[in-house]
Structure 1
Amino acid sequence: MTILIPSAILTPTGIMTEHAVAFEETIVAVAPSDTLQARFPDADILEAEGPTLLMPGLINPHVHLEFSANKTTLKYGNFLTWLYSVIEEREALVNACGRECLDRTIAMMLSNGITAFGAISSHGLDLEAAAAAPQKVVFFNEVIGSQAAMADALYGDFLQRLDASKSVERPGFFSAVAVHSPYSVHPALIKRALRVARDEGLVTTAHYLESPAEREWLDRNEGEFKPFFHELLQQEYAVNDAAGFLELFTDTPTLMTHVVQAQPTELEALSRAGHTVIHCPVSNRLLGNGAIDLDALEAHELTWLTGTDGLSSNYALDLFEEMKIALFMHSETPLLPLARRLLNSVTVDAAKALRLNCGEIAEGKAADMLWLELDHTPSDDTPLHLLLQRYPFRRIFIDGISPKG
């Protein structure tokens, strides 16, 4: 048993002082330190000089690992420009990101306080690295393919990758299902993948209404996607429209990523079906997709999370950086309340959406925690300072242990 005595604890509602945490793999109790030391007299005591804060480990709900070799290879500023560069450089980037690159990327997340993540896997090339990660991992096996003639083969490949991920036997690793997007997956393939997810009780995710180009293609079969699909697939029409895509997920609450271009009717449909939105501020900016309206999400009672996306559309897998960018991106939203909502979006809310028993300093939760050294006495403004100042970690804990890496 260990008792950690911080100056303050970050909770979903604010800052709690004069409390300590007793933990092993899970958090056993949260109470005043004298109470815990009397209850557990043989416990190891962790206490530091100077002000410190204990907070939940961060949860990155949406990251692509397979293109982590990218730094300056891909082109930014417009979604289709970026997509063409991905297609052109795909083989080189995948070949450049072997196990060492993947391990380095996972270690980057850990060094940034990310103790759990949702990995969107298109090809399964990241499975071994994700399985060996110190973090908790929800491993989303992705289906993609808009041509009906290829549906059987693509579905078979998806099942093989899903079975491979299900063969991983370690605590904290969970197989899941991803549907790429409305424009890239035929409805027949979506239905089959979602049936598997429902039958097996797997978490699901999808990209939805990320770019203006997607909006125009789904609505009118026009815009920048028209020559893209004509040239590459000889396809003249979108295989889904925005509303029809959502209808396929009616009985499958899903983590819908981006949602930048959604209209009020679609936000209402997302809310009615119990979906969750994942906001990726840096990726949206780099690909020229605009900024999501967080206030509109909340007006429709939609839970939203914050994710990094992958290094194909980001420069770092760093949720503190992502939250800081969001503070400035959403300039019309009051600052301190937004900081608190952002912190919840990568802790307690992300844990609930990914069905993980962590994300909160509370009895019975996994002891996934960040112990930070502050330069000030904790106050009600500390959630904002956490995003602006980037305080150093004294210790990172996953299941009560400080992992290597």
Structure 2
Amino acid sequence: MYLVGADFLLLCDDSFSIIEKGGIYFDDNEIIAVDKYEKLESLRIREKKYYENCVITPSFANLHTHLEFSKNNGKLHYGNFGKWLDSVIVNRDSLMDSTLEEAMQREITKMLKSGISCIGAISSYGYDVEVLANSPLRVLFFNEVIGSKEEAVPFLEQSLNARIKECAQYQSKRFFPAIAIHSPYSVHETLLNKALEIAKVEELPLSVHFLESKEEREWLDNGSGYFKDFFKRFFNSDMTPFFSIESFLDKLEGLNPYFVHTLFANDNELERIKKLNGKIISCPRSNRLLNNALLPLSKMYNNGFDVIFATDGLSSNDSLSLLDELKMALYAYSEYDVEYLAQKLLLGVTNYAFKDNKIGLKAGILKQGYVPDFAVFKLECKEQIALNLILNSKEALALYIGGIKVEHE
């Protein structure tokens, strides 16, 4: 048994409880008790460690990131979604060369240093499967489904089956196969049906980019605008939308999906997402760079959503640090009291990220029976703890995953 403590524990339960001079008593599998450090010291202990002038939180989950774009360092166009997507198509091959694995490993190390223990990896090509499976991270590995040309559907179905089979070889208590639908505008209906059938039969987590841009909204509503020209230029096709927004949502019944972005969803669509038991993931820096917009947070909270926060990939961000992401959001949403917002943001990368998850992972709260995944941050100030953690932390002082302190260069 092990005991780790600090001046403050942020339990990240629904009421955002804080224990001063608290401790976590745990073994390799689960947290046995959370209480005052002094009280826990009387138990049988193999090793103990107390971090002075520090705060401990559940380690963070970055549930939406594209690790395969880890080589991007300024090649892509920002400020307009259409121009950005064009630049991705043009530069994609140069971002996936032989040095990609080294770049991905570098970004994994940075995420670990920032207190992240779990990621949702949106994998378009499967280049990241081995490096992630061999990392200390817990991974929801979302095999992304994309393809709009009917003649390519049989090949894409075979590819998806092969990728799911490959993922099964790595499946463990830390690596969980999953499926991502790229978006309603980019997946042929036959291919979508196949992917959703696999998700249902295998009971896999499902993620989808949804209403990220005005361009997507115009295409799905009217079959016009940027995407009409996009399909003509890049695919030589006079494409029409495969779905309306409503018919697409109907197909997701019973799958409890993660909806990523949802910047331009209206109240009726949010109500439908709620009935689907959907969860909303927001990537504020990505949304600012691509769409000059932010998720209307008050609207989400008023509709009963516990918003999850993530970084997206380096294709639309400058770092994969959730500390950086939360700091940006803290400044951006000026309608909220700063300490209240800081607490909601931390819950959005801990508690909310794991609530009612399909993989059965009890994480995101410092609580008996939950996995011993937690991060330690230096903190001199004893007031407005959540706020000061986000404002002043650049990296975690220590990170424990499965009760083991993660060592990284």
Deviation, 1:44, is 1.8
Give the match for residue 4 of structure 1: 4
Equivalence for 1:397: 400
Kindly, what percent of the aligned residue pairs are identical?
A: 35
Q: 1:361 aligns with which of 363, 366, 378?
A: 366
- What letter corresponds to residue 124 of structure 2 in structure 1? S
User: Structure 2: which amino acid aligns with 1:132?
Assistant: N
Distance apart, 1:179 and its partner CA:
0.5
Are 1:15 and 2:18 counterparts?
A: yes
Is 1:39 aligned to 2:50, yes or no? Answer: no
Q: Judging changes above 3 Å, is the alpha-carbon distance between structure 1 residues 289 and 187 closer, same or farther for their aligned structure 2 residues? A: farther
- Per-residue Cα deviation, 1:279-324 (whole angstroms, up to 9, x for no partner): 0000001112511111111211123200100011100001011111
- Cα distance in structure 1, aligned partners of 2:101 and 2:397: 29
Displacement, 1:391? 5.8
Q: Deviations over 1:28-71 (max 9, x none)?
A: 1112223322222x4322123x4211111010000001111001
> Does residue 377 of structure 2 align to residue 372 of structure 1?
yes
How far apart are the structure 1 equivalents of 2:166 and 2:314?
24
Counterpart contact for 1:151–1:189, Cα < 8 Å = yes
**Contact kept in structure 2, 1:255 and 1:275, CA below 8 Å:** yes
- Among candidates 312, 318, 322, match of residue 319 of structure 1: 322
- TM-score normalised by L of structure 2: 0.94
- The 5 Å alignment of 1:155-166 reads 155-166=157-168
Q: 2:214 aligned with 1:212, yes or no?
A: yes
State the secondary structure of the residue aligned to 2:69: coil
Q: Return the alpha-carbon distance in structure 1 between the equivalents of residues 17 and 35 of structure 2.
A: 16
Cα deviation, residue 152, structure 1: 1.9
Q: Which residue number corresponds to residue 145 of structure 1? A: 147
Distance of 1:208 and 1:97 partners within structure 2:
31
Q: Which residue of 2 aligns with 1:335?
A: 338
Moved more, 18-27 or 217-226: 18-27
Structure 1 alignment gaps of length 5 or more: none
Task: Tell me the distance in 2 between the aligned counterparts of 1:392 and 1:283.
Answer: 21
Cα deviations across residues 174-218 of structure 1 (Å, max 9, x unaligned)?
A: 000110001001122112111111111111100000011111111
Q: 1:300 to 1:97 in 2, by over 3 A?
A: farther
In structure 1, what is the equivalent of residue 53 of structure 2? 51
How far residue 79 of structure 1 moved from its aligned partner, in angstroms, is: 0.7
Moved more, 239-248 or 259-268: 239-248
Q: What CA distance in whole angstroms lies between the structure 2 residues aligned with 1:169 and 1:326? A: 34
Q: Which runs of structure 2 are paired with 1:282-301 in the superposition (5 Å)?
A: 282-301=285-304
**2:114 equivalent among 109, 112, 118:** 112
* Cα distance in 1 for residues equivalent to 2:389 and 2:179: 33
Tell me, yes or no, if structure 1 residue 175 matches structure 2 residue 177.
Answer: yes
What is the aligned partner in structure 1 of residue 64 from structure 2? 62
Q: Of 371, 385, 388, which residue of structure 2 is paired with 1:385?
A: 388
C-alpha distance 96-85 of structure 1, shift in aligned 2 (>3 A)? farther
3-state DSSP of counterpart to 1:332: coil
| Aligned equivalents of 1:286, 1:305: Cα separation in 2 | 19
Query: How far apart are the structure 2 equivalents of 1:209 and 1:289?
Result: 14
Query: In angstroms, what is the RMSD of aligned CA positions?
Result: 1.5
Q: Distance in 1 between matches of 2:47 and 2:182?
A: 47
Quote the Cα distance in structure 1 between the aligned partners of 2:121 and 2:280.
16
Aligned partners of 2:210 and 2:260 also within 8 Å: yes
Unpaired runs of 5+ in structure 2?
none
Contact 1:99-1:129 at 8 Å conserved across structures: yes
Give the conservation status (yes or no) of the 8 Å contact 2:342–2:390: yes
Give the letter for the 2:126 counterpart. G
- Secondary structure of the residue aligned to 2:230 is helix
CA deviation map 1:216-269 (0-9, x unaligned): 111111111121112222133111221111111022110010000111111111
